[in-house]
């Protein structure tokens, strides 16, 4: 779905290329934030409209929305975080991978923060499609009330179709995403402009005094409203996550030239409409438009919400792949849906989990009004995490003094904590949903990383150092195994020790190939690795060599393809006379392993669900030999 080009390669100096990239980013990056006007102002008005609308309250609400967009999206994301990239890539896990290089004793804290940020994004990826599509389809009830009973069924059909087409890829439709969403933003702006004149007093919202005065006078109710105000910036994380697909400048240009003005005008128009006609408080967005335009706007809104949903689904695919490569999650099947764009991927397991989660939310809440209460916690939580990681970035990568970094980020951090606190007030009204989703994902990530570490430590105790193993073979040459022609490649995670598959092959089959390679696959803390740096070969003895293959966390770990590159570089071996040996471990739970029994069983279940290594690493299926062993964990 993404125009996957590194930021360094973006021909940003050429106006036409800049325009196309900026237009593409409108559909992908800003799809989610662009659907917020459908429900944000309506939900913010709800708590204060019960006892009648007060003029200053409406102006204060619009002021809060405009300044929230300005401070959080414009200043934090567009102007600052887009510069905090990992070789052109953005996003929580990309930033975490960069910071882990110099983490030192802070590594466990950074891991937890990164895992929490990623987990909260997954929760967002479930709630966004459900809320956005429901809010758009509900516009049909204004066309005719007869549609009231069909909002949920129509939404379900749209969402099921959306998830069903993921396996086909989005290359064909993605070229329409930008233009359709651009038209949506133009309609947002025009809808707002036509109503600002209803009450020009709404322009006072540009004065931050009204936002501060609203919060100072409303007390507890102000906090409740603040949770709804935050809905205006949902989707801001996508700005950062999709940095590598479009580049910094196109995303910035799209924000300042189209998105920010359109959102501001629309919120001003909604505010002026409510001031002039208080009866429109029930659905100020759709009531901005005349009756003849209502159906086309509902159709366009539905298209915009589908595009917004597509963006977060693709973002969830991309984030999961990063998590797998960084060792946070077990291996899963990853399919490429485009021959040219590596960013276009499909993960069946993630797609199924998201679909089930979205369907559950639609049936559980039934309306956008109910679901809006569950929204916000995942987004605010993810933003707080990003701000904490940004502090470490300023300190470790830009070498700012800690005090300077604190002084710069503290106001933003306190603001986001206030928003988080406001959203936590909704915990009993559905806010528990994103918290539960995020907690579940964090437990899975924590269990997987902890379990793999314990497993590595246990197997290391019984492993034989590679150098000692080779010396032993050479020393006892008269009792050495039978040499057979061809090449054997043994996959291992630790090249310093003899792979279990190698030891089992000699123990049970009593044979050794002419050439033996111990292959280790590592994930670099950067998105992509240059072909020249893809592998290193170290000769251990006449018959043994080590190969280290390096892949970026955004790349597919295709071993067969990398071996082809090795052959071209002069390393001669025939892939069709090469056997790949994998160690297959049967895990047995043990209460004394260092993890509680429930975590042992969860880790074993995750390991059983993991994709077969031969499929994940793209090994030739007819050349793979697996040798098993039991490991107590």
Distance CA 553, CA 524 (A): 6
199 band by pLDDT with thresholds 50, 70 and 90: very high
Mean predicted lDDT score pLDDT of the chain: 86
Element containing residue 491 per DSSP (H, E): strand 482-491
pLDDT at 633: 67
Averaged pLDDT for residues 212-239 = 87
174 — pLDDT class (breaks 50, 70, 90): low
Cα distance from N-terminal residue to C-terminal residue, the chain: 41
pLDDT at 8: 41
| Packed helices 151-164 and 348-365: angle between N→C axes, nearest 10 degrees | 180
Q: What are 68-102's pLDDT values in tens digits? A: 999 999 999 999 999 888 877 888 888 888 888 77
Q: What percent of the chain has pLDDT over 70?
A: 94
Supply the pTM of this predicted model.
Answer: 0.82
Backbone angles phi, psi at 631, to 5 degrees: -130, 125
Number of continuous H segments (helices) and E segments (strands) in the chain: 25, 8
What is the mean predicted confidence (pLDDT) over 352-363?
93
The conformation of residue 89, written as its DSSP 8-state character, comes to B
**DSSP character at residue 376:** S
C-alpha span between 399 and 295 (Å, rounded): 54
Tell which residue, 341, 326, 339, 340, has the closest CA to residue 557. Answer: 326
86 secondary structure, DSSP code:
B
pLDDT for the residue numbered 7: 40
Contacts of 589 (CB under 8 A, 6+ apart): 597, 600, 601, 604, 632, 633
pLDDT at 108: 86
CA dist., res. 565 & res. 588, Å (int): 39
Q: What pLDDT was estimated at residue 289?
A: 93
Judge whether 252 and 88 are in contact, CB under 8 Å. no
Average pLDDT over residues 596-600: 89
**Three-state DSSP class for 101?**
helix
Residue scoring higher pLDDT (232 or 430): 232
Tell me: the pLDDT tens digits for 25-46? 888 889 889 999 999 999 999 8
Provide the H-helix boundaries in 463-586: 466-475, 500-504, 559-568
Residue 440: predicted pLDDT:
92
pLDDT tens digit string along 506-565? 888 888 888 899 999 998 888 888 888 898 999 998 889 999 999 988 888 899 888 888
Mean pLDDT of 472-485: 76
For the residues 593-610, what does the mean pLDDT come to? 88
- The tokens for 281 are 């408080």
- Nearest 5°: the CA angle 150, 156, 158 is 100
Q: Do 149 and 116 meet the contact criterion of CB atoms below 8 Å apart?
A: no
Residue 14 above 80 pLDDT? Answer: no
- pLDDT of residue 591 exceeding 90: no
Task: Quote the CA–CA distance of 143 and 171 in Å, as a whole number.
Answer: 33
Contact 44, 221 (CB under 8 A): no
**β 535-539/544-552 pair status:** antiparallel
Strand partners, 521: 549
Confidence check: pLDDT of 406 > 50: yes
Give, as one character, the DSSP assignment of residue 327: T
pLDDT of residue 2: 40
């Amino acid at each position: 779905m993404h125009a996957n080009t590194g930021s360094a390669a973006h021909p940003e100096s050429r106006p036409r290329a800049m325009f196309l990239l900026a237009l593409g980013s409108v559909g992908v990056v800003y799809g989610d934030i662009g659907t917020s006007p459908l429900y944000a102002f309506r939900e913010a008005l709800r708590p204060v409209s019960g006892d009648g609308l007060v003029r200053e309250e409406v102006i204060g609400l619009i002021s809060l929305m405009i300044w929230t967009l300005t401070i959080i999206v414009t200043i934090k994301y567009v102007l600052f975080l887009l510069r905090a990239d990992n070789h052109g890539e953005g996003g929580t896990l990309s930033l975490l991978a960069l910071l882990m290089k110099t983490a030192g004793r802070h590594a466990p804290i950074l891991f937890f923060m990164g895992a929490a940020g990623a987990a909260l994004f997954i929760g967002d990826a479930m709630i966004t499609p459900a809320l956005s599509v429901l809010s758009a389809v509900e516009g049909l009830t204004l066309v005719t009330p007869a549609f009231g009973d069909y909002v949920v069924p129509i939404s379900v059909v749209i969402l099921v179709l959306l998830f069903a087409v993921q396996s086909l890829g989005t290359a064909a439709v993605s070229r329409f995403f930008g233009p359709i969403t651009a038209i949506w933003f133009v309609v947002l702006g025009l809808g707002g402009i036509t109503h600002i004149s209803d009450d020009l007093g709404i322009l006072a919202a540009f004065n931050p005094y009204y936002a501060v005065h609203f919060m100072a006078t409303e007390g507890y109710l102000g906090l409740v409203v603040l949770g709804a105000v935050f809905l205006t910036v949902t989707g801001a994380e996508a700005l950062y996550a999709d940095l590598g697909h479009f580049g910094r400048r196109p995303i910035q240009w799209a924000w300042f030239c189209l998105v920010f003005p359109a959102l501001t005008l629309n919120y001003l128009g909604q505010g002026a409409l409510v001031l002039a006609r208080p009866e429109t408080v029930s659905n100020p967005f759709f009531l901005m438009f005349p009756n003849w335009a209502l159906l086309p706007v509902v159709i366009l809104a539905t298209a915009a919400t589908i595009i917004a949903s597509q963006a977060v689904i693709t973002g969830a695919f991309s984030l999961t792949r990063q998590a797998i490569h960084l060792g946070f999650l077990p291996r899963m099947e990853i399919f490429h849906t485009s021959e040219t764009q590596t960013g276009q991927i499909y993960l069946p397991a993630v797609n199924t989990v998201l679909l089930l989660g979205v369907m559950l939310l639609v049936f559980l809440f039934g309306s956008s009004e109910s679901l809006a209460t569950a929204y916000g916690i995942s987004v605010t939580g993810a933003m707080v995490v990003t701000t904490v990681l940004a502090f470490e970035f300023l300190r470790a990568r830009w070498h700012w003094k800690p005090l300077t970094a604190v002084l710069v980020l503290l106001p933003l951090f306190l603001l986001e904590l206030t928003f988080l606190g406001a959203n936590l007030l909704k915990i009993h009204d559905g806010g528990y949903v994103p918290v539960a989703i995020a907690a579940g994902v964090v437990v899975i990530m924590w269990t997987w990383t902890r379990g793999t570490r314990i497993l590595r430590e246990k197997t290391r105790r019984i492993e034989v150092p590679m150098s000692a193993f080779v010396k032993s073979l050479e020393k006892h040459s008269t009792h050495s195994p039978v040499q057979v022609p061809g090449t054997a490649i043994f996959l291992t995670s630790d090249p310093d020790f003899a792979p279990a598959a190698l030891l089992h092959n000699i123990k049970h089959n009593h044979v050794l190939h002419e050439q033996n390679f111990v292959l280790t696959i590592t994930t670099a803390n950067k998105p992509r690795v240059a072909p020249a740096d893809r592998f290193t070969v170290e000769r251990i003895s006449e018959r043994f060599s080590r190969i280290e293959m390096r892949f970026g966390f955004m790349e597919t770990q295709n071993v067969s393809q990398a071996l082809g590159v090795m052959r071209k570089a002069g390393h001669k071996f025939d892939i069709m006379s090469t056997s790949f040996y994998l160690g297959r471990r049967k895990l047995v739970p043990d209460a004394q392993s260092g993890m509680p029994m429930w975590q042992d069983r969860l880790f074993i279940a995750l390991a059983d669900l993991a994709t077969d290594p031969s499929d994940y690493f793209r090994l030739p299926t007819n050349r793979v030999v697996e040798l098993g062993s039991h490991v107590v964990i």
